[in-house]
Amino acid sequence: ARFRRLTVRYERRADLHLALTTLACAVICLRQIKRFCP
């Protein structure tokens, strides 16, 4: 889950790109929370 689709912007619509970026940030934050709060 290295979010390869976000490294190169395949989506032409800005709102879809923003949604995927927001989702990736949420997943990263959730992983960090799980790591520090078992």
The dihedral formed by the CA atoms of 8, 10, 14 and 15, expressed in degrees to the nearest 10: -110
Per-residue pLDDT, 37? 83
Q: Whole-model pTM above 0.75?
A: no
Tens digit of each residue's pLDDT (9 = 90 or more) over 1-38: 566 665 666 667 888 888 888 988 999 899 889 888 87
- The domain ranges of the chain are 1-37
Give the phi and the psi of residue 4 in degrees, each rounded to 5: -65, -30
Task: Kindly report the length of the chain.
Answer: 38
